[in-house]
Structure 1
Amino acid sequence: MGYGFNERARLDQGRGRRHARLGLFDKSVGDDVGYDFHITRANSWFDSEQYPITLEEWESFARGNQSLELELDSSITFTNFGTLNIYALKCDPSRDVTLSWYDFRIEVTGIQDIEAIRACVILAEALQANFLGDEGEKYLPDGTGISEE
């Protein structure tokens, strides 16, 4: 299900923010629903359209990347973009991180630990992009998050 920005912001208020801001990731993060991450070439995920990852570029990258697997039974449909694929990044046998293109960036959900962050930073670097949290913190290859504030 897709939400507009204002709907998503209301849903996400206060959920998972503390963990991401402090760089604290442990098994409890899975209980904090609603905190998303973004792969974008912009310094702020709000500006992704100015530094786009195109849908065609993402699909080509995702299909050619051995660490990503197309979720055959899942997709997202948007009125302005149509039906988009969802890809899984296997982080452990019981949990996948999911990645999907939206609005010139890659939306990432299901992060539960620092290893998943590190794997996503590697994907972002391969796309010459940044791996950012909802609050704009940028994640480094060692999994730590830094904020511009």
Structure 2
Amino acid sequence: MGYDVHITRRQNWFDESGPKIDINEWRALVLSDPDMRLDGYASAVVGDGSILRVDSEGLAVWTAYAGTGVGGNMAWFDFRRGNVVVKNPHGAILEKMLQLAQKLDAKVQGDECEVHGAGGSVIG
């Protein structure tokens, strides 16, 4: 399964109401960042050699991530229902999420509603 961390403007990332990040705002931010690329899909080779592909109009990759290409590790940022979601982010990816959140006037919040601050530390 994994653990998702969200860039969100809502009180809690899963709230139905509250301010959302607009898909066009997300696209513009990704396109303005030379270290991000808007792909609209992600693909990976699975155990039997077949290719798994996920399509999402706001799916972007952080191309400057040091793990990119190493064992197929990519830092994917997926736009979902007014939030931007990353699965299992760690230090460097959390830092990139914080940078993007600041530009979006948003926060970085984990699945259990903990809020992340500088260095990925939990601040709330």
Same fold, TM-score > 0.5, yes or no: yes
Is residue 103 from structure 1 mapped to residue 81 from structure 2 by the alignment? yes
RMSD: 2.1
Cα distance change, pair 115–44 in 1 and its aligned pair in 2 (3 A): same
Aligned residues: 109
| Cross-structure match for 1:114 | 91
| Cross-structure match for 2:8 | 40
- Percent of pairs identical after alignment? 23
Letter paired with 1:46: F
| Cross-structure match for 2:47 | none
CA distance in 2, matches of 1:72, 1:117: 21
CA contact (8 A) 1:49 1:103 kept: no
Is residue 69 from structure 1 mapped to residue 37 from structure 2 by the alignment? yes
Is residue 128 from structure 1 mapped to residue 72 from structure 2 by the alignment? no
Larger relative helix fraction = 1
Runs of 4 or more off by more than 4 Å in structure 1?
none
| Cross-structure match for 1:86 | 59
CA distance in 2, matches of 1:88, 1:36: 16
Helix, strand or coil at the partner of 1:47: coil
CA distance in 2, matches of 1:92, 1:70: 18
Out of 67-76 and 40-49, give the one that drifted further. Answer: 67-76
Helix, strand or coil at the partner of 2:86: strand
